[in-house]
Structure 1
Amino acid sequence: MTEEIIIAGFGGQGVLSMGKILAYSGVMQGQEVTWFPSYGPEMRGGTANVTVILSDNRISSPILHEFDTAIILNQQSLDKFEAEVKPGGTLLYDPNGIVHPPTRTDINIYKIEGTKIAADMGNVKTFNMVVLGAFLKAKPIVALESIRKGLEKSLPERHHKLIPMNLQAIEAGQQQMEEVHII
């Protein structure tokens, strides 16, 4: 199994953190992993994306030009990466700020109201974990126990008290993800 993923949105949405947690989770499962961030100098508010590859085999390069999955958190990223999802692949998006939703008919498309769900939970900072939960519902490539271990590895110890809240957000994302177009 090899899964090539792009996560893209604005800086400050937790794009890089989501990728890092996913990468650590793959390591916890004994997979080969790459985590390759890309962001503009403006950071918060600018565009950010990260590619993550999880594989049972050695990974030859972290640089990708097409993806099995795209997790999209803003219109600019949707415009840029929708066409780069492999036919038969998966696109997951948060509709907040998306003016023109995805239109492809040769990929699986899922929607998660991550912004709204995180706000309803009382902590908008869990937005990225809601989205991660939706992704894991669509593609359960890492176990929840590995995600918990990934959170422990990626969060400083002083923030470990936030792990239960993050796991609740992941569960909320799994429960509230919507199928838009399934091939």
Structure 2
Amino acid sequence: MTEQIILAGFGGQGVLLAGQIIAYAGMNEGKNVSWLPSYGPEMRGGTANCNVVVSDEEVGSPVVVEADCVIVMNRPSLEKYEKDLKPGGVLLMDSDLIEVEPQRDDIKVVKVPANTLAEQAGSVKAANMVMLGAYNECSHIVDNKTIIECLAKIMGEKKAHLIPMNEKALDLGAQAAK
């Protein structure tokens, strides 16, 4: 099993964190992983993205050329990365921020109102966790418990009070993807 994922959105939406969590969770479950973030001016409002590979085998390259799943949280990301999804792949899109339809008809499209669900969880800042929950519901790449464990480790004690909200966001995203 090898899963290649592209996550993209505006800088500040947490796409790099979501990708990092997938990579850490895969590693914690004994899988081989790579995480390749894109830094630079993207962090100031442009399109930020990362490539994640989770595999039972060695990972030959961190660069995702033909993704199994593309997670987009804004329209520019949809327009840029839809073409990088393999035929039959899954496109997860934030339907709150993307008002256009994907151009391809050879992929599975899952629309998730990430901002709305994040607000229900407690903060619009949890939209990345909503999308992560939706992704994991579609792929079952790691256990949700592992995601929460990794999130707690990344956030540390200072932000431990945010774990329940993020767990709720994961659950709401999973429900939306069903």
TM range (shorter): over 0.9
Structure 1 stretches of 4+ moved >4 Å: none
Q: What SS does structure 2 have at the residue aligned with 1:54?
A: strand
Offset at 1:97? 2.8
Bigger share in helix: 2
Offset at 1:131? 0.9
Match of 1:2 in 2: 2
Unmatched 5+ residue regions in structure 2?
A: none
Match of 2:79 in 1: 79
% same residue = 48
Match of 1:149 in 2: 149
Out of 15-24 and 157-166, give the one that drifted further.
157-166
Offset at 1:72? 0.6
Match of 1:163 in 2: 163
Q: Does the 8 Å CA contact 2:53/2:64 hold for their aligned counterparts? A: no
Match of 1:106 in 2: 106
Q: Distance in 1 between matches of 2:149 and 2:27?
A: 10
Offset at 1:73? 0.7
Match of 1:128 in 2: 128
Match of 2:176 in 1: 176
How many positions carry a matched residue from both structures?
178
Q: What SS does structure 2 have at the residue aligned with 1:39?
A: coil
> Over the residues paired in the alignment, what is the CA RMSD in angstroms?
1.4
Offset at 1:42? 5.0
Match of 1:53 in 2: 53
Q: Does the 8 Å CA contact 1:94/1:113 hold for their aligned counterparts? A: yes
Match of 2:19 in 1: 19
Q: Does the 8 Å CA contact 2:7/2:51 hold for their aligned counterparts? A: yes
Q: What SS does structure 1 have at the residue aligned with 2:86?
A: strand
